[in-house]
Amino acid sequence: MRWKLLRRRLTISAPEVAVRSATPWPLRWAGAALGLGFCAAISLWAFEKGKDLAGLDNGGIHEELVALRDEVGRLKQERDKAQSAVNTSGSLITAERAAQERLAVQIRTLEAENRALRDQLGFFEKLMPAGGAESLAIRGLQAEVLGGQLRWQVLVMQPAKHASEFKGKLHVTVAGTLAGKPWTMDLPDSPHDLRFRQFRRLEGMVDLPEQAVVQNVSAKVVEGSATRAVQSIKLGA
């Protein structure tokens, strides 16, 4: 058995043996470090060369980049100013439209008031005496029955332009029938005090008794104990 092992080792079929020199480990670490350093130097040289070829290390490019950033900032400021101006314009337009709408409402109101004043003036002009009388007069006595109530209106005028102040009383009386019999009634709040220079208009609403039929309404202006003006109107049955 030993002979077989010895012959196997001495013949060609013997196993291969690697022969290595015994190198100290510090030298091996130093060689590895040198190799790594060389590779790093090659990589750095390639990076710098690539920058030079691409022109990234040019100082003019850096300045241009700074200028472009400044330009972008300026354009943003201009955009913000323009947006602010647009918003302000929109607010002004909205305020102007609202003002125009309010003005249109005021114009319509003034036109209605103007029409009412013209109608009132025409009413007064019709009531003025044609002969230019200087005495006090009752104008525009009106009355109507509305569902058990009497609505009345009286206009008292002094046609003179520079008339002195009038002080007196107005008596309003209704006449007709009550339950088929003759009937007369002074208004509950009559007489009314009168104090004016040119004109005075009085009106009111009074409840009528049941079964009352108003046929006549009369107005009388009294100054002291003297009667200054009288007017009466008839109402349909």
More confident residue, 61 or 2: 61
Q: Of 73, 108, 127, which residue constitutes the final position of a domain?
A: 127
Give residue 24's pLDDT.
65
Residue 205 has pLDDT above 80, yes or no: yes
Within this chain, do residues 176 and 225 fall inside the same structural domain, yes or no? yes
- Phi-psi category of residue 34: left, alpha or beta, with phi > 0 → left and psi -120 to 50 → alpha: alpha
Asked if residue 48 belongs to a domain, the reply is no
Residue identified by tokens 């091996």 is 28
Q: Of 79, 106, 127, which residue constitutes the final position of a domain?
A: 127
Q: Give the strand pairing for 192-196 and 166-178.
A: antiparallel
The vertex-175 CA angle with 172 and 177, nearest 5°, equals 155
- What does the pLDDT look like over 48-61, one tens digit per residue? 666 665 555 555 66
Give residue 6's pLDDT.
52
Q: How many domains does the chain have?
A: 2
Give residue 171's pLDDT.
92
What is the rounded average pLDDT for all residues in the chain?
77
Asked if residue 165 belongs to a domain, the reply is yes
Going by the DSSP 8-state scheme, the letter that residue 136 receives in this structure is -
- What does the pLDDT look like over 154-203, one tens digit per residue? 888 887 777 788 899 999 999 999 888 999 999 888 788 888 888 888 88
CA distance 208 to 212: 7
**Amino acid of residue 204:** G
Within this chain, do residues 105 and 192 fall inside the same structural domain, yes or no? no
Within this chain, do residues 210 and 151 fall inside the same structural domain, yes or no? yes
Within this chain, do residues 141 and 226 fall inside the same structural domain, yes or no? yes
- What does the pLDDT look like over 127-148, one tens digit per residue? 555 444 457 888 778 888 888 8
Range from 30-44, 89-103, 130-144, 215-229 that averages highest in pLDDT: 215-229
Residue 40 has pLDDT above 80, yes or no: no
Give residue 218's pLDDT.
92
Per the structure, the complete domain to which residue 98 belongs is given by 64-127
Q: Are 162 and 217 a contacting pair, CB within 8 Å?
A: no
Within this chain, do residues 141 and 223 fall inside the same structural domain, yes or no? yes
Asked if residue 215 belongs to a domain, the reply is yes
Phi, psi at residue 208, to the nearest 5°? -100, 150
Within this chain, do residues 105 and 71 fall inside the same structural domain, yes or no? yes
Asked if residue 47 belongs to a domain, the reply is no
Within this chain, do residues 82 and 153 fall inside the same structural domain, yes or no? no
Compute the Cα dihedral for 76, 81, 84, 85 and give only its sign: negative
Asked if residue 32 belongs to a domain, the reply is no
Q: Is 173 helix (H, G, I), strand (E, B) or coil?
A: strand
Q: What is the mean pLDDT of residues 113-137?
A: 67
Give residue 131's pLDDT.
47
Give me the CATH number covering residue 173.
2.60.40.10
CA distance 134 to 127: 14
Q: Which helix (H) or strand (E) holds 222?
A: strand 212-223
Asked if residue 8 belongs to a domain, the reply is no
Q: Of 76, 105, 127, which residue constitutes the final position of a domain?
A: 127
Tally of CB atoms within 10 A around 221? 24
Within this chain, do residues 153 and 210 fall inside the same structural domain, yes or no? yes
